[in-house]
Structure 1
Amino acid sequence: MLFISSIVFGKKKGAISGAIGMTIFDVLSGWVAWAPFTFVVRWIMGYIVGYYVTEGILYGNWISPVTSIPGNAIQIAAGGIVSLPLAYSLKRTKAF
Structure 2
Amino acid sequence: MSPILPEQTPRLRRGFRLQWEPVQNCHVLLYPEGMIKLNDSAGEILKRVDGRQDVAAIIDSLSERFPDVPGIDEDILAFLEVAHAQFWIELQ
TM-score normalised according to structure 2 size: 0.32
Larger Rg: 1
The structure in which a higher percent of residues are helix is 1
TM-score after normalising by structure 1? 0.31
Give the structure with the larger strand fraction: 2
Structure number with higher relative contact order (C-alpha < 8 Å, ≥ 6 residues apart): 2
